[in-house]
Amino acid sequence: MSMAHKWLNKVRWDENGLVPVIAQEAATGDILMFAWMNRDALAKTVELGEAVYWSRSRKKLWHKGEESGHTQRVVEMRLDCDEDVVLLKIEQVGGIACHTGRHSCFFQKFDGEDWQAVDPVLQDPDTIYAKKHP
Amino acid sequence: MSMAHKWLNKVRWDENGLVPVIAQEAATGDILMFAWMNRDALAKTVELGEAVYWSRSRKKLWHKGEESGHTQRVVEMRLDCDEDVVLLKIEQVGGIACHTGRHSCFFQKFDGEDWQAVDPVLQDPDTIYAKKHP
């Protein structure tokens, strides 16, 4: 194994070979989404300079924005103290990270009794994904 | 099961009964740490208004700051679109979230070749935990 992979080996991949990833908008500090990466996804993210996750449901690499155009340009990448969580500081192309058409996936706020959707839908999801699913 | 638990039931707990939690400093937007909660931890967090996590290594509830005094006051709580990740916006008592004595656990930055510790240690960890381990 080449020394070039030292940084990939430093990550403590879980029992499924995955690491949790937090995507934070670099300019605003807003947390946009949470996803997972395997080793290939993290290597590809660095290679492309754009977020590539591992889709646990589809069991394949998921270049974020591949369908919607809402790619995430990586500005900075960090690893936590235990080396088992990655933080991506990104620029969110189109300003929409969530498949519901919202800026952030974290749009449900706890009001003391229940979770309430409090953030606006910026674009109808049907029009976001219509390009490839006419 | 009472209706009072509706908000707890809305969370999609994983196969281990856990949900990933991101702790973000409310005032600065800084991401301070990442941890896990089970149902009891989330209920306790709301009850106390302070972050209570589930320690996967110690297999018990972990009231953050119970030893260090670095508790986390909950300002806001959010759930993501898939209802399987919680975001806590907090006030970090003492300004230190990391057991290494740093503000944030995400102090290792990728420089293109490796992860480098770039944030300062604000307090010697030995003095943080000395109170209960003299």
CA A124 vs CA A29, A70, A127, B25, B120: distances in Å: 24, 14, 6, 31, 44
In this prediction the pTM is: 0.95
Q: Is A81–B98 a contact, with Cβ atoms under 8 angstroms apart?
A: yes
- By mean pLDDT, which of A91-95, A125-129, B24-28, B117-121 is the weakest? A125-129
A105 touching chain B per CB within 8 A? yes
pLDDT at B131: 58
For tokens 């909660």, the residue is: B37
Chain B contact set for A34 (CB, 8 A): 20, 22, 80, 85
Q: Is B115–A85 a contact, with Cβ atoms under 8 angstroms apart?
A: no
A26 touching chain B per CB within 8 A? no
pLDDT at A5: 86
Non-local (6+) Cβ contacts of A58 within 8 A are: none
Q: What is the mean pLDDT of residues B76-80?
A: 98
Question: B134 to chain A, minimum CA–CA distance in Å?
Answer: 24
Q: What value does the mean pLDDT of chain B take?
A: 94
pLDDT at B68: 92
Non-local (6+) Cβ contacts of B30 within 8 A are: A29, B24, B103, B104
pLDDT at A92: 98
Full DSSP string of chain B: --GGGHHHHHS---TTSEEEEEEEETTT--EEEEEEEEHHHHHHHHHHTB-EEEETTTTEEEETTTTTS--EEEEEEEE-TTS--EEEEEEEGGG--STTS-S-S--EEE-SSSEEE-S---S-HHHHSTTT--
By C-alpha distance, the chain B residue nearest A28 is B29
By C-alpha distance, the chain B residue nearest A42 is B110
Question: B20 to chain A, minimum CA–CA distance in Å?
Answer: 9
* For residue B122, pLDDT beyond 70: yes
- Which domains does chain B carry? 12-121 (3.10.20.810)
Closest CA to A5 of A59, A32, A43, A37: A43
B75 touching chain A per CB within 8 A? no
pLDDT at B133: 47
Confidence at B134, pLDDT banded by 50, 70, 90: very low
Chain B contact set for A108 (CB, 8 A): 78-81, 83
More confident residue, B133 or B83: B83
Chain A contact set for B7 (CB, 8 A): 110, 113-115
By C-alpha distance, the chain B residue nearest A34 is B85
pLDDT at A129: 83
pLDDT at B8: 97
Q: pLDDT (tens digit, 0 to 9) for every residue of chain A, 134 residues total?
A: 455 689 999 999 999 999 999 999 999 999 999 999 999 999 999 999 999 999 999 999 999 999 999 999 999 999 999 999 999 999 999 999 999 999 999 999 999 999 999 999 999 999 988 655 44
Q: Give the model confidence (pLDDT) of B30-75 as tens digits.
A: 999 999 999 999 999 999 999 999 999 999 999 999 999 999 999 9
Token pair belonging to B9: 């039931």
CA A129 vs CA A67, A100, B83: distances in Å: 6, 11, 22
> Side-chain half-sphere of B15: how many Cα atoms within 13 Å?
0
- Dist CA A134 CA A11 (whole Å): 40
pLDDT at A65: 96
